Chain A
Amino acid sequence: MRETGHLVHEYLRSSKRFPHIWCAGCGIGIFMQALIRVIDQKGYRKDDIVLISGIGCSGRLPVYVDFNTLHTTHGRALTFATGIKLVNPRLKVITVMGDGDAVAIGGNHFIHAARRNIEIASFILNNNVYGMTGGQSSPTTPYGATTASAPYGSLEPGFDICRLAEASGATFVARATVYHTRLLEQLIGRALEKKGFAVLEVISQCTTHAGHFLNLKSPVEMMKWQKDNAIPVEKAREKSDAELEGKIVTGVLVDRERPNYHEQYYRLVSEKATV
């Protein structure tokens, strides 16, 4: 494994003005480092990587890294990714989205990208809140949580992003946390290598806005919460739903084979093309 200093010079944009915009204690930076490490380990060429984001704290990730980077509109990263992958299937297309980004405003695009099984590695940084706008409820905010937009407590249950992805047809679905960095890197690698729509939900912490309603006062407490509540999927299978209440089931939840969209499409082109 290459040293961190080497990775910084190789993958962070020297022409970009730092510091980054994330709060101290945010989990997005941990994910970004893990992503860079895995891309380096796997030996992908920087020219072949397209990193696409939507809007929100996670949306700012691509600007810092030296790939082909596209910061799109709120919730729509997967639509741009679809166009890019189909025009140039040789490219490794990666999206980074937040929880509100991916499954609230972008929910429609998310389920249809999964249904098509278009080859995109999708990373969803789930911090249970709209952080950039100041701590409003997201579709993964827990029931009853008090947020800036639910001052009397949220009346909505949160989504299980992985089950949504599975039901929609994603061929690889996994969950990790930013605390378990080894597992995180392993699962990022699996998602990148999947020849279909791959979803990795990354449980992350927003200490600025989500900490208070989760009753966790510091980044350290939030990461300890991830440590204490994570349960590998193999163990979780032996437990009842009641026992899994409030737990974070980590690992590979779904890994199945189904023809992906671009391979089917280009097979069609090879049959029909007259040029």
Chain B
Amino acid sequence: MQKQVLLQGNEACAAGALMAGCRFYAGYPITPATEIMEIMARKMPEAGGVFIQMEDEIASLGAVIGASVAGSKSMTATSGPGFSLMQEHIGFACMAEVPCVIVDVMRGGPSSGLPTQPSQGDIMQARWGTHGDHPIIALAPSSVYEFFELTVQAFNLSERYRTPVILLVDELVAHAREGVILPAQDSLKIEDRLRPTVPPEWYIPYADPGTGVPPMPAFGDGYRYHVTGLYHDVRGYPTVRTDEVEPLIKRLFTKISKDFDRLQWFDAYETEDAKVTVIAYGCVARAALRAVRTARENGLKVGLLKLKVLWPFMRRTVTSILEKSAKVLVPELNVGQVSREVKRVNQTKCEVVTLNKVDGTPIKPAEIRQKLEEIYP
């Protein structure tokens, strides 16, 4: 029987990473993500893993990618300014297909912004921050337990698809303390990257085995191969041939898009008969749940769709809500980043209403309830 423990969000993240098999952490101090690094500095030697404090966030993600190429599950954690510096290597990890996990505890931005205040301002940066067309996976927890759970899942997805996975967390969820019961290690489903089974001389590093995700050996395993951020052919060698460039970028996208159905992770509350549905994520989803419950008590038919996956955007799930509701309300701690996506996918007559707050304070349940009453048809 697992005991209930009082954990901070960042502590739950570190616990999830260790249980997912993370054995390499490289990072640089930054508020409000530093606790993850401090815990890893203590825990990694105990777990037989590696912790290193690097000279900046570019170096941190470089070391994380190197560690992953050498066969270790690896991660880093940062906040907005550091996340900006990491964009270069997020692109590298996408292109070279190196599994890794990046936690971005969002603060108010731009620039140094509001280091100790909650924000959800990095949603679009997570999607498009690194240059060029590329797929990305980003998850958004809304509680301490979910931060644990989605950290485990972030590692699983990164290993399954050989891609960087980003955890977008707001400062509230990262610093909140909640009682949680962590599952036993053996009850967790842990995924590991596919390793090649053919002899080294038959191994073609970037040939599509049919799933879109080629097996990945560790450096030193005997499969000597080339890794590059340049467009490459199936052997990993640089190429500018149109018949090699296009298949690569298409495979990078389809290896994830073929599984869109498996990446619809959400919680739905009272959405079946809702005339107005709130679509929210992170700490705002908690305020929204309270607002929805109170409004229901007052006889309003409202519901909540809480998104756990932000990228790839859950078009199918959101569309099913848009088809059912007269209006949706998208409250966010930014000027409208997920609401922009909701509007983009909206092919219905449903009206998309926004509620944005960018003053460094969280959105309160009363603010959402008031807005619900205001727009209720």
Contact = CB atoms under 8 A, between A and B. Distances in A.
Contacts of A6: none
A46 interface: yes
Contacts of A218: none
A241 interface: no
Nearest to A265: B50
Contact of A71 (B64, B65, B222, B227): B227
Interface in A75-127: 76, 79-84, 86-88, 90-91, 108-109, 112
Contacts of A33: none
Contacts of A272: 45-46
Given A62-B226, A73-B229, A91 B48 contact: no
Contact of B52 (A50, A82, A91, A274): A82
A83 B66 contact: yes
Contact of B58 (A70, A79, A88, A90): A79
A73 to B, nearest CB: 6
B218 interface: yes
B8 interface: no
A96 to B, nearest CB: 14
A34 to B, nearest CB: 21
Given A63-B238, A73-B92, A83 B48 contact: no
A73 B229 CA distance: 7
Contact of B62 (A66, A72, A90): A72
Nearest to A272: B45
B237 A83 contact: no
A70 B227 contact: yes
B235 interface: yes
B196 to A, nearest CB: 14
Contacts of A242: none
Contact of A79 (B59, B218, B221): B59
A23 B23 CA distance: 43
A48 interface: yes
A47 interface: yes
A159 interface: no
Nearest to A118: B52
A69 B224 CA distance: 7
A67 B224 contact: yes
B224 A108 contact: no
A17 interface: yes
Contacts of A1: none
B220 A83 contact: no
Interface string A50-68: 1010000000101100111
B65 A83 contact: yes
B225 A68 contact: yes
- 6 closest A-B pairs by beta carbon, nearest first, are A83-B66, A79-B62, A80-B66, A83-B67, A83-B63, A87-B70
20 contacts: A17-B237, A69-B224, A71-B230, A72-B229, A73-B89, A73-B92, A76-B88, A79-B63, A82-B62, A83-B65, A84-B69, A87-B70, A87-B72, A88-B220, A108-B56, A109-B55, A112-B55, A273-B48, A274-B47, A275-B46
Interface of B: 23-24, 26, 45-48, 50, 52, 54-56, 58-72, 74, 88-89, 92, 218-222, 224-230, 235, 237-238
Given A47-B221, A68-B224, A73-B62, 4 more contacts: A60-B238, A83-B69, A86-B52, A109-B55
